[in-house]
Structures are given as C-alpha cells and as structure tokens.
Amino acid sequence: MDAHDAGERLEEIRTDVLVLFHPEDEPAPRGRLGRLDWILLGALSLLGARGKFTGVRGTSALLSPNQKVKAERILVMGVGRRADLSMTAVYRLSYDTAHTVLNLGCSRISLDLPCRLLPQESPEKLRQAFLEGFVAELKRGRPDGEFSVSALPPANGR
C-alpha cells in the first residue's frame, strides 16, 4: 500500500479513479470539483439540475472524462449537508468511498479530500482520519490487493 501526496494539476493526474466530494447544500460544484465540472462541460451540474446527483450522503456519481483529463474515471461522493459534517462523518465517508472504489475494481486512487468543508479542522488531521479508514477498508475488502493511494494537497492551504 502506497499513500502519498499528489502535487500534479487535476487534469494531469494519471489514475484509475479520481475521487472528489460534493455537499448536498452547495447547488453548484466549487473548488477543484467546480474546475473539473467546467472541464467536463458541466456534466456534474447537469446531473444536479436533473436531480440525479445532489450530494446527498451515501450517493455517488461516476463520470467519464472522455479524454479531457488523464484520470480513467471520476468518482464524486455525496457528503450530505455541511452542517452535519464532522470528523466522525468523515471517517464513515472514508469507508463508503473505499467500498465504492472496491466495487469499481480500481487500484490507483487519487483523492481530493473535503478539507474546505471542515474549516474548523486542520487539513492534516482530516487527511489522517480519512486515509486511516479508507486504507483499512481497502485492505479488508481486498486483502491481497496492491493499491496506490494519493491525496491532493489542500487547495489554498485548505
């Protein structure tokens, strides 16, 4: 298991799956997810407008990058309402995310952790909590599997 920081630009990351997070109470994607949505010609915004993916906790959207970015797949996980987000919720989210990634059969995983959604917590504490649960669940789900997990550094220090 290899876990490290990915310092590349979003669209340059070569990975099986690029995982980002979207809260239910943000009508439009923001931050890196907003940039990615723009690159993908509003694919996620369109799903939201149609009511197919709104960021409700426990939901996800799998997007095809159509060679607009180097990631093979883009997975957007719903985190629920921002007011309900806590470190405990982040830990649970890490397990849900790992289950979804395992179901996709991916081994190279890049994560844009939801640091900006929990401004009261340090990005390092959030990263540690998420990766602890995520990596444990990957190992439990595929004990003999080889995984490469990278986390993008927080945008603007968050």
pLDDT digits (tens, 9 = 90+) for 80-126: 999 999 999 999 999 999 999 999 999 999 999 999 999 999 999 99
Q: Running along the chain, 158 residues long, what does each successive block of 10 average in pLDDT?
A: 57 94 94 93 93 94 91 97 94 96 96 93 94 96 94 75
Phi/psi for 74 (5° steps) reads -125, 125
- Asked whether 44 and 63 are in contact (CB, 8 A), the reply is yes
SS3 65: coil
Q: pLDDT value at position 8?
A: 66
Q: pLDDT value at position 158?
A: 52
Global pTM? 0.92
- Asked whether 70 and 12 are in contact (CB, 8 A), the reply is yes
In total, the chain counts a number of residues equal to 158
For residues 45 and 40, give the distance between their C-alpha atoms in angstroms, rounded to a whole number.
10
Domains in the chain (CATH in brackets) are 2-157 (3.40.220.10)
pLDDT (tens digit, 9 = 90+) per residue, 82-94? 999 999 999 999 9
Q: Do strands 73-80 and 108-111 pair parallel, antiparallel, or not at all (unpaired)?
A: unpaired
Q: pLDDT value at position 70?
A: 93
Q: Do strands 60-63 and 17-23 pair parallel, antiparallel, or not at all (unpaired)?
A: unpaired
Q: Could you tell me which of 26, 29, 65, 59 has the C-alpha nearest to residue 44?
A: 29
Q: pLDDT value at position 21?
A: 97
As given in the structure block, the two tokens for residue 19 are 């995982």
For residues 45 and 116, give the distance between their C-alpha atoms in angstroms, rounded to a whole number.
19
CA angle 56, 62, 65 (to 5 degrees): 135
For residues 83 and 118, give the distance between their C-alpha atoms in angstroms, rounded to a whole number.
9
